[in-house]
A and B are shown apart, each in its own frame.
Chain A
Amino acid sequence: MSLRAEVEVPAVLQEPTQGLALAVEGVDLRFGGIRALRGVSFSAEPGKITAVIGPNGAGKTSVFNAISGFYRPAAGRITLGGEDITSMPIHARAKRGIARTFQNIALFHGLSVLENIKLGGHHTMRAGLLSAMVYSRSTRDEEVALRAEVERKVIDFLEIDHIRHLPVGVLPYGMQKRVELARALAMQPQVLLLDEPVAGMNREETEDMARFILDVQEEWGVTVLLVEHDMGMVMDISSKVVVLNFGEVIASGTPDVVRRHPEVIRAYLGTEGADPA
Chain B
Amino acid sequence: MSEFIEYSLLGILSGGVTALIALSFVLIYKGTGVVNFAVGEVMMLGAYFYYAATVMFGLPPVVALALGLIGIAVLAVAFERIVLRPLSGQPPVAVLMATIGMASIIHGGVEAVWGGDTYSPPPLLPRTPLIFNDILIPGAVLGNFAVAAVLIAGFFAFFRFTSVGIALRATASDPVTAATLGIDINSALRLTWVLSAVVGTVAGVLIASSAGLSPLLAAAAMSVFAAIILGGLDSIVGAIVASLLIGWVEALAAGYLGGKSRDIVPFVVVLVILIFRPYGIFGSRTIERL
Interface residues of A (CB under 8 A from B): 1-3, 68-70, 89-91, 94-95, 99-100, 102, 106, 108-111, 115, 118-120, 122-123, 125, 127, 129, 132-133, 135, 139, 143, 146, 183, 187
- Please state if A94 and B180 are interface contacts (CB–CB under 8 Å): yes
8 interchain residue pairs of minimum CB distance: A123-B182, A1-B184, A94-B182, A90-B179, A1-B187, A106-B177, A132-B164, A1-B183
- Please state if A3 and B187 are interface contacts (CB–CB under 8 Å): yes
**Of listed A70, A120, A123, residue having the most chain B CB within 10 A:** A123
When distances are taken between beta carbons in the complex, the residues of chain B under 8 Å from A125 are 163
When distances are taken between beta carbons in the complex, the residues of chain A under 8 Å from B211 are none
- In the complex the two chains form, what is the Cα distance from A242 to B158 in whole Å? 46
- Please state if A1 and B167 are interface contacts (CB–CB under 8 Å): yes
Closest residue of B by beta carbon distance from A6: B182
- Min CB distance A74 to B, Å, is 20
**Of listed B167, B169, B176, B180, residue having the most chain A CB within 10 A:** B180
- Please state if B169 and A143 are interface contacts (CB–CB under 8 Å): no
- Please state if B181 and A119 are interface contacts (CB–CB under 8 Å): yes
- Min CB distance A148 to B, Å, is 14
How many interface residues does B have (CB within 8 Å)? Answer: 25
- Please state if B174 and A106 are interface contacts (CB–CB under 8 Å): yes
- Please state if B180 and A119 are interface contacts (CB–CB under 8 Å): no
Please list 30 pairs of residues, one from A and one from B, whose beta carbons are closer than 8 Å in the complex, sorted by A's number: A2-B183, A3-B184, A3-B188, A3-B191, A70-B176, A91-B179, A91-B184, A94-B180, A94-B183, A100-B180, A102-B177, A108-B169, A108-B177, A110-B169, A119-B163, A119-B170, A119-B178, A120-B181, A122-B167, A122-B181, A122-B183, A123-B182, A123-B183, A125-B163, A127-B163, A133-B158, A133-B162, A143-B163, A183-B181, A187-B181
- Min CB distance B154 to A, Å, is 9
B149-172 vs A, CB cutoff 8 Å, 1 = contact: the mask equals 000000001100111101101100
What would 15 more interface pairs be, CB under 8 Å, given A68-B180, A119-B163, A122-B166? A1-B187, A91-B179, A91-B180, A91-B183, A94-B180, A94-B182, A106-B177, A106-B180, A110-B169, A111-B169, A122-B163, A122-B181, A125-B163, A129-B191, A183-B181
- In the complex the two chains form, what is the Cα distance from A32 to B7 in whole Å? 64
- In the complex the two chains form, what is the Cα distance from A183 to B174 in whole Å? 15
When distances are taken between beta carbons in the complex, the residues of chain B under 8 Å from A90 are 176, 179-180
When distances are taken between beta carbons in the complex, the residues of chain B under 8 Å from A187 are 181-182
When distances are taken between beta carbons in the complex, the residues of chain B under 8 Å from A1 are 167, 182-185, 187-188, 191
- Please state if A94 and B169 are interface contacts (CB–CB under 8 Å): no
CB contact list, B170-222 vs A, under 8 A: 170, 173-174, 176-185, 187-188, 191
- Please state if A122 and B187 are interface contacts (CB–CB under 8 Å): no
When distances are taken between beta carbons in the complex, the residues of chain A under 8 Å from B173 are 108-110
- Please state if B163 and A111 are interface contacts (CB–CB under 8 Å): no
Closest residue of A by beta carbon distance from B164: A132
When distances are taken between beta carbons in the complex, the residues of chain B under 8 Å from A127 are 163-164
- In the complex the two chains form, what is the Cα distance from A109 to B173 in whole Å? 8
When distances are taken between beta carbons in the complex, the residues of chain B under 8 Å from A129 are 164, 191
- In the complex the two chains form, what is the Cα distance from A70 to B163 in whole Å? 25
- Min CB distance B32 to A, Å, is 15
- Min CB distance A126 to B, Å, is 11
Closest residue of B by beta carbon distance from A147: B163
**Of listed B162, B177, B181, residue having the most chain A CB within 10 A:** B181
- Min CB distance B166 to A, Å, is 6
- Min CB distance A271 to B, Å, is 39
When distances are taken between beta carbons in the complex, the residues of chain B under 8 Å from A122 are 163, 166-167, 181-183
Closest residue of A by beta carbon distance from B160: A115
**Of listed B161, B169, B176, B182, residue having the most chain A CB within 10 A:** B182
- Please state if B182 and A2 are interface contacts (CB–CB under 8 Å): yes
